Every structure is written in C-alpha cells, then in structure tokens.
Structure 1
Amino acid sequence: MIASLLGHWAFEPFAKALPQMGDTERAALEAGTVGFEGALFRGRPDFDRLMAVAPNHLTAEEQAFLDKDVGELIAQLDDFAIDEARDLPPEVWRLLRERRFFGMIIPREQGGLGFSHFAHAAVVTRIATVNVAAAVTVMVPNSLGPAELLLRYGTQAQKAHYLPRLADGRDLPCFGLTSPYAGSDAAAIPDTGVLTERVVDGRSMRGFVVRFDKRYITLAPVATVVGLAFQAVDPSRPEGQQQLGITCALIPVPTPGLQIGRRHRPMNSAFMNGPIRGDDVFVPMDWIIGGEARVGQGWRMLMECLAAGRAISLPALGAAMQQTALHVMTGYGRIREQFGLPIARFEAIAGLIARTAADLYASDAARRYTASVLDAGERPSVASAILKVQLTEAGRRAVTTGMDVLGGKGIISGPGNLLGVAYRHAPIAITVEGANLLSRALIIFGQGAVRCHPHVMAEMAAVQARDENALGRALLAHAGHVLRNLGASLFGAGTQGRVPPGLEKEARLIARVSAKYALTADLAMGLLGGRLKRMELLSARLGDVLSHLYLAAASVWRFHVEADPQLLPFARAAIRFQLEAAAATLRDLHANMPSGLLKALSPLLLQGTRHLAPLRDRDLVALSEALRTDPSLVARLCPDFTPPATGGLHDLAEALRLADALGDEVAELNRALRRTHSLEAAAAKSRDPEAALAYLRAADKLIQVDDFRAG
C-alpha cells in the first residue's frame, strides 16, 4: 500500500527528473556485467567477495610463448631504428604472422592461440616495454578488431573463412568506426548504407550501398579486410521506420569503391594508421557480421566487445610505460651521480620514484584483478573504462616523471634515449578507444550510476513500464540504501569480510570512503536529476572517486594473492595515495555542488576525509631507498619489463649488471673518477680492474647523449 501510494505520488516528478535516453545510449548502458565496482558504488564492499577472485594464471603454453616467441620478437626490435623508419622491419612482420601473434584471442580449433585475457595482456605489455609501435600492431587485431566480433556474432561461414586467415596473418584487419564529424559521438556516425538489390556475377543479391569516410584507423594502410560500422537504411519502409540502426560489416581489400587513404602519423609513430573511404561500395548481406539477422545491432555488438577490450590493450600500454619509467628512474638514479651522490638519494627525486612505484602497484593491481575477472567469464564494462582511463593516465604520469628525473638525457633524441619515444606516444593512448575526458564523465559515472547502483535501474524500468507500484518499491529500497550510507558516513563503516594481515586499517578506510561516495552519488543524482548528465565536471569527479576506490580495493586483492611481505609497504602506499585522491575529489565535488543545503552539511558528511593517514616524506624516502638498495623489488614491481638488444634501455641494463657485480666498490670508483678524470686511472686501483673499467665505460655510455651531423 505504501509502495503504491509513493509510486503514484512520485511518478510524474521522477519521470521528468530522469535523463532522456536513446537506443544507442541504452545499449551502451546495458553492455557488460557488474563486479566489485558495484559493491564500491553501493558503499558496501565485501572483501570476502574480493578475495575470492582467483589469482592470475598462465598455462604452460602461454608461459612458453612469452619466454620464447615474445623473447625472439623483442630481440628483433630496435626502438630508435623502427621510429626512424616509421615501420616495423620485414622480419618482424614475418615473425608476427608465423608465430600467430595476431590470433591470440582466436581459439586453437580455428587456427589461433586461444590465450586467456591475462596472457593476451601480458604479451602486449612485454612488447610495449621495448617498442610501442610493435605492441600496437599486435594489440589491434586482438582487441576491437573483427576477430572478437566474428567470434561472438559471426555466422558459421564467416568464422570458417576469416578466423584461420586472421590467426595466421594471411588477412590483416582494421576497423572503421570514427568519422571526421563523429568522433566522441560515435553513435552519430554519418556513414550510411542503403538497402538495395544488385546483380553480382549474374546473381541478384540483397545488400547495402555504402558511403563512408573514416579516419584514425589503425592498420588501415596494410589491411586486407576492413571492418566497418555504418547506419543502415531501408528506403522501402514507411517514413520514420527507415533507420535500421548501426550495422557492422567486413569488406575485403580491394573492393570496388573502397579507398585506403594517405597514411596518418599519430605523434609521428611507426605503427600504421590512416583513413578509409568508400563511395558506392556494395556490401552483400553475407558480408554483414552475423548476417541479415544482425542488421541494426552493431552498436550493441561494439559496446559488448568494448566491455572486455578496454580492459586489455590500452591498459597494457599504460602498464608498460609505468614499468619502463620506474625501471629507468631507479636504474638511472643508481648510476647517475651529482654532488658526489647517486641522484636517487636526493629527496626530490626519491619522492618521485616512491610515488611512481605506489602508482604502479595500484594500477597494475587493478589491471591484473580485472583480467582475472574477465577470465572467469565476466565482462565488466564500467571497470574496463576505469582501467582504460586510469592506466593510460598513470602511464603518461610515469613517463613525464621519468623525463624529469633524466633531465637533459631525456630530451636528446637518438638510440641512447631512454623514454623519449614513449613520451611522444603517451597522448595517443589517452585519446583513442574512448577519450579519457569523455570516459570519466559519461562511461565510468554515467554508466556506473545506472549499472552499479542497486536501485536506479529498477526505478528507470518502472518508469518506462509505467508501473507505479514497482517504482514505489524501488524508491523505498533506495531510501533505505541512502539511510544506511548516511549512518556509515556519520558513525563509521565496518569492514565486511576478511582482509590480508597488515591491511586491516586500509580496508576500513576503503569502506568508509566507499560509504561517503555512495551517499554523495545519491545526493547528486537526487538533487540534480537529469541535469547531472550535462554537468560534466561534477560527473567526472564522481567517476574519478569510483576509479580511485577500485584501484585501492584491487591493491588489497593483489597483496592477498601475491602474499609477498616485502611489498606490504608499497601496497599500503598505493592504497593511501588512492584514498587521498578519492577524498580530495569528494571535497571538491561537495564544494561545487549547486546546493546551499548540501554545502552546509558537507563538513558533517565529509568528516574524517581530511587526513586519511597520508604518507609522510620519511615514508616516501624509505620506499625509494628500498628500491635503490634492493633491485629485486624493482623486478617484482616491473615483471614485464624486458631489456632490448640495443639502445638506451640495453645500455642501462648493462651498466646495472656490471654495477651489481662490483657491489659496494661502485661508490669508490666514482670518487676515483672525479679525482682522476680518467676511466682507466680510476679502474686501475680496483680489486678487479677489468670489471671496474667495464662498469665505468658502461656508465659513461649511459650518461652520454647522441649527436648527429649538423644539417
């Protein structure tokens, strides 16, 4: 009775408050599944559920591929030479095809490698620590390429024809989604296909005559098959029913009317990218992915594939940038001296190294946790958007910080440069596959507010069905949810489930901030209604808080599954930094809410967020010193980093290897070098002059920069 009355009273104002939603937006909202991010959004994280997620696992075949095949590939990658040539060498292209790098996600029975999501990510990450262009070339066919669409939606004939050819590289795919006038608003693509019949080879065929203009299409210049998204139209239908919806097709290269445009060079990178255009391209019905039954379902298909794909490839690039940058900062910080000390011992640099290490622990924890969830069969769309945003941003931060530590060494181009190419690549990952500006507001929070909230979806469904009783029941449950989070915000939130020893306090803080976030999200949605969708600065902040909570919780999981006590200080630091960022963002959010009442209540609602046991300077210095004195910690934080066969990263690895062999004598050798200004003289008095001279020469080579003939 109460529910029915409440629903009747609230129906009209509630219907007006809800944002308008089109079919494409609905498809995006409904794509994928909800995992632990939903518990954080509700303000009730259950750590038993978090700890129940299995650790990452590689099969013997996957491990062998990483060790042998990826190792052989890396040995052929010269970052500077590839960058200068603006293409991969022919032998690299050949190896990628022969070893089926393009078929990692394709099952073995269809010619591929049948790898797990974690193995796929590990391969891309390891390659990207050496050469981003090669990693991008590998990741695109395994990410939002036609292969995943075919696996999930293709007809049996399409699978039988294309999957073996994609797996062994006989066909190289690209996918055209972005148009010059529909970038972030991909659902509004202007490219159209008009349903018609044509005679082909003497046979009448149904299909679409398509006109399209796509850009920023990775692998387009070398593609032999083009995946295409277009708006399907049936002019024979009545007015208002002619739009069939976004449709996906596969077009062989060459096809009459299809044109591969002149090459684009994103940040002058070596990976292949360019536009594709089509005029009067006939696409038979059996070229539609899934056949005629899938006409108009392309947007849902793309969103469902992105629910997984966003969590793999671009986060792998971000992780690679972080691992490479931390390896460079710690290694160069040990070798390079100023004022008679290794630069890593100066607090200004030590603080940067410690923050980067903590950032890496948290972001890599989230990447590994989400890969495990994916391998368990989930498709977490909100979590995958969190990963895409957070890891690409973390990669950019790490490389920028690394450049600060390198100083002049970092800005001189040449084979000896350690991070310059990665620094140039960083903005690419930020921009593509859902620009981070858009993803923070519209996907992480916009989608999260509907999918992760325990009651909003039910309320929206009740309004759509005009079911006042169902709306009333959902609103009563929603009110109980708000009151529970209000109590937890004011009086403290208890921890549900068990957590690893040593992180009990951090888990309680996660629960506390989660409850305050859940309450704030409800207040924002209740006070602003549909306006919140347009207030992107607020909704982006709401997305950021959820992201920080997700990374903090994933750090708890990572410490649990790794059970490495030496990494406990890094786990704690990672969680504290994420919670500090979440709390600061919550305070900014409350300060900018257009509600005098909420601003008045904010000090009460946000109590306890001002100082979440932040790390002190001494803690940062201790973390950095641990990395400087124990290289095994760096190796555990950077497990995917692989020194290349040539270039600056090889020089760094060689200098570190020789320094480790000499041990404590390195400091005395450097003092002797400052006195004598001679490598030979400094090495002469060593207990092992030959080893000492080899180290000094390697260190000198690392410190020097490349030069070129003028003009």
Structure 2
Amino acid sequence: MGLHHAMLGRAALGSFSKALPTMGETERAALEAGTVGFEGALFSGQPDFDALRMRGPNRLKPEEQAFLDNEVRALNAMLDDFEIDQGHDLPPEVWQFLRDKKFFGMIIPKAFGGLGFGHFAHAAVVTRIATVNVATAVTVMVPNSLGPAELLLSYGTQAQKDHYLPRLADGRELPCFGLTSPYAGSDAASIPDLGVLTEREIDGQMVRGFNVRFDKRYITLAPVATVVGLAFQAMDPSLPEGEQQLGITCALIPVPTEGMDIGRRHRPMNSAFMNGPIWGEDVFVPMDWIIGGEPQVGQGWRMLMESLAAGRAISLPALGAAMQQTTLYVVNAYSQIREQFGMPIGKFHAIGGLIGRMAVKLYASDAARRYTAAALDADERPSVASAILKVQLTEAGRQAVNDGMDILGGKGIIRGPGNLLGVAYRHAPIAITVEGANLLTRALIIFGQGAVRCHPQVLNEMTAVQEKDAEALGQALLAHGGHVMRNLGCSLFGAGLIGTPPPDLRAEAAMIARVSAQYALTADLAMGLLGGKLKRMELLSARLGDALSALYLAASCVWRYEMEGNAGLLPFARAAIRDQLGVAVQVLRELYANMPSRPLALAAPVLLRGNSALRGLRDREWLALADALRSDATLITQLCPDVGQPKAGGLLDLMHAFELAQPLAKELPDLNQALRRTASLEEAAATSHDPAAALAYLKAADRVIQVDDFPA
C-alpha cells in the first residue's frame, strides 16, 4: 500500500508544486495559530450534533454574575451617551470607577490582582456597557483584548508578569498596542518598523537590546497609555547576509521613554474613545523589555496570531451584539409608542418586516457568539470561528442600526440627548474596519485560512509538497478523493444525521448536514479547478467564506436552542436556521455561476439539489415574528438580555415610556385618539380608567417623540 501511495505522490508532486500556493513563515504562523472546532466539521461536510452539544451551556461564576449585576449596572448608570460624545472623553469619575473596580483587569488572574473572569463573562461585560455607550466599552475592551496583558499571560517572563500584571489589573498602568503602520495596514506582517540589535551603556553596564524606529497609527488608548506594546522587525547586522532578519518581535515600552512621541489623537468617526499615533526614533529597547525576553525575539507574529485567535471572538463581536440588541429594543418599543395614520407604526408591514428580520438575525449571530465563548471557556482557540464572528457580528450590527435609522425616520437623524441610535450609527464603520477589515477577513481568513486548517487533507497535502514527501502526498490524495466522493453522494442523495439534535429542530439539523456536504464538495471543486489562483480570486473565496459563516451561524442556533430550552423562542430559532441556510445555498449558486467552468455552472442545480425547503421566509412569517414581539414583551427581554440602563438620554426615556405602556396596552389606541382630538395630555389622560397612570405614560411618550433643538 505504501508503494501505491508513493507512486501516486510522485506522479502528482510536480503538478501540485505548481498549483498549490507557497507558504511563507508568517503565513504558516497564522495558519497554525489557534484550534479547529465545529467549523472544521462543517467544512468537512460531517457536522456531529453530539459534538456540538458538548460545548456549553454558557455559565457565569457567582462573582462574575455579581459583577454584572452590581459594578456593570452602576457603571452604566454613570454613562450619558450624548454628554460623553460631546465631551470627546469619558468623565473623570468614570475613568476612576473603571480603575477602582478593575474593569481593566478582567482577564488577569486573581493571583496577580485581577478579576480572573472567563471569556463569556468578559464578553457579557463589554456587551452590556456597549448597549449604553460604545466609547466606554472600547476603553474597557482594549486592555482585556489583544494587548500587553494577554501577551504577558501567555509569553511574558515571570519578572514581567510580577511587575506589570498587578499594575495593569488595578489601572495604575493603562496599555495600548502598536501594530498598524501607515504602509502596513491589512498586510500587518510587512511592518517596516525596524529594531537593530545593539548594546548601550546604562548605569555603567553594557546592555543588549534593539535600537528601534517606528511609526504607528490607529492605536486605541495611545493618547492616555502609560505602557506601549510594540511590534517591530528585529534584525542583527552582525549575522551573515540572508540571516540578519530575526522576525517580528513584541516589546513593552514604558511612557515616557526617550525618543518616543505619544499623546496626539485620531478621531475615528469623531468618537470619544482615545485613539492616536505613536512615533519613535532611536528608541533603545533593552532585552528585558522584549515580551518573553531574548528567547522570544522573532516570535512576535506567532504570539500575535495565537492571541488574535481568541481575542477576535470577544471584543468586536460584543460591540456588534450590543448594536443589534439595542436597536431591536429601540425599534420594537418605539414602533409601539409612535403612531401614524391612526395606528402604531410597528403594524405597518414595511416596518414589521424589518423588525422580524432584525430579531431573526440577532438570534443567529448571538447564538454563534455564545457558542464560541463556550468553546473559548473550554480552552479552545478557534481562529477561523473567531474571524467568522468578527465579520458576521459587526456586519449584523451595522445592518441593524441602518434599518433602525430607517424606522426612526426624523427622530433618528436629529442630534442631541434624545437621539436613540445616531452615535451607534456613526460607530458602526469602525467595527467593520479594525482587527482585520471585513473585506479582507471574508476572503483571506475565513476561507483562505479555513481551507487549510479546517479541510481534513489540504494542510497534509501542502506539507507533503513542501517537504517533497511523495508517500505522504499519495496518502493525502487518496483520502482526499474518498472525502470528495462521500460529499458528492451526500449532496445528491442526502446526508444522514450524525449525533442527536433536539427533536424540535431535527428537520433543520438534517438540512444543515446536507448543505454542509454541498459546501464541502463545492470548496473542493473550486480548489481543484483553480488551485493557488483561488487565493487571488477574492470574489469567489469571499463567497466560500460567507457560506461557511452561514453554516456556522445555523449550527449555533441548534446549540443555543438546546442549551436554553426556551420553547418561546423556537419560531425564531427555526427562522434563523432557515434564513442562514438560505444565505448559504444562494451564495453557492452565485459561486457556481461565477466559476470559470461552464460544465460546473451547468451541474450546479444537480449538485445543490434537495434544498427546495430553503426558500426565503414568506412575508407573513416575518410579520408573525414581529407581531409576537409586540404582543409578548418577555421575548424582547430574552433576545436583548444585555441592554443596560443609562444615566440619561433618549434610551432611558424610551425605557420609561415602554414600561409605563405595558399596563395600559389595551387602551393605548383610545388614549392616542383622545390626544389627537383634544391636543391636551391632561384631557386625553382623563378618558382613561387610571388617569394618573395614563398621564404619566403620555408625558413619557411625548418625551420620546420630541427631538432636540439648540440655539441658532
């Protein structure tokens, strides 16, 4: 059998060497970062629903729940969205509260003075803050996400941990991390910032280190940072030509340090969170400042990629979830309070349809966020899944806010304390852009990295080609052929269920299994036809990334429903799965139509057969979901559990009005009719069976309907 493998491998080695893309060290480090979870099973066409069930449910430790109930609630009650936006900074008392309550030390273990929170708790804190004020959420998330604390925990020397972690935990040190350069944005691995190995005399002793020059921008918290994490290219000019480049290296530089200029601001969409550039010329970085010391010189890219495999799944997805939850809460409440043409605007189909879609998308994207947090808390580091989350949650947040602005109409575009979504609308493009722009992430990370990490044989084939191992290549090719034939059969005749999904969603799980097999087959056909060219054909690879993302969200809905056991949300779970699978199938159809192969385009209807049940939801189904949200206020609480109560502003006014509306729900049409007839809040309230409650509601509703004005 080994001889057959070797013969096959030798025959294929030449053509595969030309077809497969070359893999440099930085790309290998990125590919090998993190772990593969359920997204790998979907990519292989073999989703195992028993394996899916093993992750979760999300659990909060008592101290984590207490922090959400007390410290986070108290923080939100200090936040006035408009006031912070106008002031371009957090109030001093908010900064102090964040330090005092160790918001900057959530991921730091208790042994170093931190809170020692898990990933789900960390995400929940950021989400709840972001529903009230995004700038504060960003300020909290950066020290707890990709940055010095996480790098120190994984790679720092004991002396570095002992010095910095307690100071980071209690806010004595405020960190930022400088990676992006003006000439190295998306292509972060090509940063031109250079550190040359040298020695300097310090306090009478010669100290080894790097003389670094750098130019960084878009660095969150830079203007207020007391310690700067820095990535630079290290080199040793004493080595032979060709060996001088040591690789990307990460260091911690205290503020101030001679030669480093820090303190100016960028204004991303004029947001209040701190962000700015950092420059350095002739900055000496001793070896003690290298994260992990001298043994970690040149290991910075691997360190960053491994950290990003987890961090990308937390912070920006939390912001996206917050935008979705806040928007759904706002439009559902506002559309019941605001009337036009004699009835609540939520009853108009154009608005009800948007609200139904918003709720379904929120169920799916938040399911994926929660499932991935459960995987992280189980010590996985799912790099491809984290990229899926980053794209899907930030895009869903942007779409929700866009739709919400349409529903609010004039109320949404008048700036002032009473505006409900304007600041979030302005923030949405920031989340789309940072930590890997979504345009890049869809094509090059979700599918590009996913094809190598998640496929059962591609990495084996690439490694065999690189090592010129004919026998290993032959083994991988035979296994790959069997993989393709299995998925072809499942695509044509249906895929059997692996594992036991919840009975309520058995039919949906079977659809996930079939579309997963069709996706796996399509990915193999695309890679087989185009080889390394597929990496450059980004419109095609982005579609493959989108289809995998939709499958991941659909499967996460199955997990969420089983973990929560909430029968009231079953219609939303079913709709969310069907909606995501509909997206996946439509994307695959577009892919076949655009691949440079006429036979494949003609074969697409056969290869994608059996998906007639995945038609888009009918109008009546979207409207039924919106009606359910209007008639049962508990559904909004279940879909939007993280929406916090602010200090002041339009959201607080809306919450108050919506709460007062509930006991009067049956007589609200008559009250509004009386108000139109009398043009008097008091006279309209007098027609109610409870005039005092009616007057309180009408006054609160009037505050919601009014918009802000200012002196000319």
CA deviation string 1:559-586 (max 9, x = no partner): 0000000000000111111011111100
Give the unaligned 5+ runs of structure 2.
none
User: Which of residues 118, 121, 140 is equivalent to 1:119?
Assistant: 121
The residue aligned with 1:58 is 60
TM-score relative to the length of structure 2: 0.99
1:608 and 2:610 correspond: yes
Q: CA deviation at 1:599?
A: 1.5
Instruction: Please show how residues 662-681 of structure 1 align to structure 2 within 5 Å.
Output: 662-681=664-683
The residue aligned with 1:648 is 650
- Contact kept, 8 Å, 1:330 with 1:353, in 2: the verdict is yes
1:96 and 2:113 correspond: no
The residue aligned with 1:175 is 177
Q: Which segment drifts farther, 228-237 or 496-505?
A: 496-505
Residue 329 of structure 1 aligns with an amino acid whose one-letter code is V
SS in 2 for 1:663: helix
User: Which of residues 550, 555, 558 is equivalent to 2:557?
Assistant: 555
Residue 529 of structure 1 aligns with an amino acid whose one-letter code is G
SS in 2 for 1:664: helix
Using the alignment, how far apart are the partners of 2:447 and 2:517 within structure 1? 16
Q: CA deviation at 1:597?
A: 2.1
Residue 495 of structure 1 aligns with an amino acid whose one-letter code is L
The residue aligned with 1:282 is 284
How many residue pairs match? The answer is 710
The residue aligned with 1:378 is 380
Using the alignment, how far apart are the partners of 1:8 and 1:313 within structure 2? 47
- Contact kept, 8 Å, 2:77 with 2:645, in 1: the verdict is no
The residue aligned with 2:224 is 222
The residue aligned with 2:548 is 546
- Contact kept, 8 Å, 2:491 with 2:607, in 1: the verdict is yes
The residue aligned with 2:569 is 567
1:140 and 2:142 correspond: yes
CA deviation string 1:270-329 (max 9, x = no partner): 000000000000000000000000000000000000000000000000000000000011
Q: CA deviation at 1:13?
A: 0.3
Using the alignment, how far apart are the partners of 1:613 and 1:580 within structure 2? 6
The residue aligned with 1:297 is 299
Residue 410 of structure 2 aligns with an amino acid whose one-letter code is G
The residue aligned with 2:359 is 357
1:702 and 2:698 correspond: no
Task: Check 1:658–1:411 CA distance in 2 against 1; reply closer, same or farther (3 A cut).
Answer: same
Residue 397 of structure 2 aligns with an amino acid whose one-letter code is G
Q: CA deviation at 1:415?
A: 0.1
- Contact kept, 8 Å, 1:220 with 1:275, in 2: the verdict is yes
Instruction: Please show how residues 60-209 of structure 1 align to structure 2 within 5 Å.
Output: 60-209=62-211
Q: CA deviation at 1:643?
A: 2.3
CA deviation string 1:352-393 (max 9, x = no partner): 000000000000000000000000010000000000000000
The residue aligned with 1:657 is 659
- Contact kept, 8 Å, 2:674 with 2:687, in 1: the verdict is no
Using the alignment, how far apart are the partners of 1:576 and 1:357 within structure 2? 14
Using the alignment, how far apart are the partners of 1:130 and 1:261 within structure 2? 27
Q: CA deviation at 1:261?
A: 4.7
Using the alignment, how far apart are the partners of 2:171 and 2:265 within structure 1? 21
User: Which of residues 457, 460, 471 is equivalent to 2:459?
Assistant: 457
Using the alignment, how far apart are the partners of 2:532 and 2:458 within structure 1? 13
User: Which of residues 670, 683, 686 is equivalent to 1:684?
Assistant: 686
The residue aligned with 1:367 is 369
Q: CA deviation at 1:613?
A: 4.2
1:434 and 2:424 correspond: no
User: Which of residues 263, 266, 273 is equivalent to 1:264?
Assistant: 266
Using the alignment, how far apart are the partners of 1:61 and 1:562 within structure 2? 22
Using the alignment, how far apart are the partners of 1:241 and 1:578 within structure 2? 49
The residue aligned with 1:531 is 533
SS in 1 for 2:216: strand
Q: CA deviation at 1:504?
A: 1.1
The residue aligned with 1:423 is 425
- Contact kept, 8 Å, 1:583 with 1:610, in 2: the verdict is no
The residue aligned with 2:255 is 253
- Contact kept, 8 Å, 1:126 with 1:642, in 2: the verdict is yes
Q: Which segment drifts farther, 655-664 or 57-66?
A: 655-664
1:339 and 2:341 correspond: yes
SS in 1 for 2:642: coil
CA RMSD of aligned residues (A): 0.8
Residue 98 of structure 2 aligns with an amino acid whose one-letter code is L
Q: Which segment drifts farther, 611-620 or 107-116?
A: 611-620
SS in 2 for 1:458: helix
SS in 2 for 1:238: coil
Give the unaligned 5+ runs of structure 1.
none
Using the alignment, how far apart are the partners of 2:464 and 2:266 within structure 1? 48
The residue aligned with 1:494 is 496
User: Which of residues 618, 621, 630 is equivalent to 1:619?
Assistant: 621
Q: Percent identity?
A: 74
SS in 2 for 1:685: coil
Using the alignment, how far apart are the partners of 1:172 and 1:192 within structure 2? 25
Q: CA deviation at 1:54?
A: 1.9
Using the alignment, how far apart are the partners of 1:643 and 1:624 within structure 2? 24
Residue 12 of structure 2 aligns with an amino acid whose one-letter code is A
Q: CA deviation at 1:124?
A: 0.2
CA deviation string 1:511-558 (max 9, x = no partner): 111011000000011110010010011001000000000000000000
Using the alignment, how far apart are the partners of 1:159 and 1:585 within structure 2? 47
Using the alignment, how far apart are the partners of 2:465 and 2:615 within structure 1? 44
Using the alignment, how far apart are the partners of 1:593 and 1:321 within structure 2? 36
Q: CA deviation at 1:2?
A: 2.2
CA deviation string 1:581-630 (max 9, x = no partner): 11110011000001122122222112234651431111111100000011
The residue aligned with 2:599 is 597
Q: CA deviation at 1:685?
A: 2.0
Residue 587 of structure 1 aligns with an amino acid whose one-letter code is R
- Contact kept, 8 Å, 1:48 with 1:499, in 2: the verdict is yes
Using the alignment, how far apart are the partners of 2:205 and 2:98 within structure 1? 39
Q: Which segment drifts farther, 599-608 or 518-527?
A: 599-608
Residue 479 of structure 1 aligns with an amino acid whose one-letter code is G
